[in-house]
Amino acid sequence: MQFSYSVFKQGEEILLAVSDIDIVGKTFAEKDLQLDVSKEFYGSKSGDEKEVIKLLKTATIVNAVGNDIISLLIREDIIERKSAIEISGVPHAQIIAFK
């Protein structure tokens, strides 16, 4: 499984924006919600599960979108399924780590 991601650093905060690679560049909308999976935010690099898990361990904030990445977060006990919202059938979760 391949993912698209970007890492942003601001002071002590590390934001990991990660998505399924096949939805980068797409927009999903439902009612008054819109999710833009832009290449600028989610797509500067690509990596496999092992690489993304390593990045998740250092991130203080995670913005994740897509079936595969949300499934990975659930398998790794980082989130529960009910923590993700769906927009046009695409799951999205935001995580803030308190360290």
pTM: 0.93
What token pair was written down for 25?
């560049």
Domain count, the chain: 1
Question: Are the C-beta atoms of residues 64 and 73 closer than 8 Å to each other?
Answer: yes
Domain range holding 70? 2-96
Q: What are 4-21's pLDDT values in tens digits?
A: 999 999 999 999 999 999
Per-residue pLDDT band at 96 (split at 50, 70, 90): very high
* Spatial contact of 7 and 58, defined as CB atoms under 8 Å apart: no
Q: How far apart are CA 14 and CA 75, in angstroms?
A: 22
Residue 83's CATH number: 3.30.1860.10
